[in-house]
Amino acid sequence: QACTLPTAPTLLPARGLRQHPAPLWAMAPPGAAHPNFSFGGLLIAGGAYGFYKGSTISLIAGAGSGGLLVGSGLMVEHDPQAAFMLGSGVGGLLTAGMLPRFLKTKKMMPTGAVALLGALTLAYNGFQLSRWWDPDTLPFRAKS
């Protein structure tokens, strides 16, 4: 029998779940993951620029929140509900942390930009989560 590369997994029609997930290198991530990659990349770049300007906390916050968003983008194919929950949480924390500072200082950079990016992240991931929401698959749900 010849050795072949794994093929793309087939989708189950009822829920869109994959029967046999392919390795990460075998397929490009789904389109729903790309905004999280973009938002995460912008946050990492902003944190690096803030570090270049002398702010260590910008690097920590930008790399941390950006890394979580990139991680949620990688999770979309295998567990979309958890991925969009993570993305919604990161977006909510960014918005909650930076919007009050923006309203106080009225400075667009960096507080306004990060608050806007957080709100966009929260809106996108919240919308996607509403499409994938299935409370029966939550790990902390009590089984009766």
Condensed to tens digits (0 to 9), the pLDDT of residues 52-94 reads 999 999 999 999 999 999 999 999 988 899 999 999 999 999 9
Structural contact between residues 53 and 104, judged by C-beta atoms closer than 8 angstroms: no
pLDDT in tens, 89-122: 999 999 999 999 999 999 999 999 999 999 999 9
- Whether the Cβ atoms of residue 36 and residue 76 lie closer than 8 Å to each other: yes
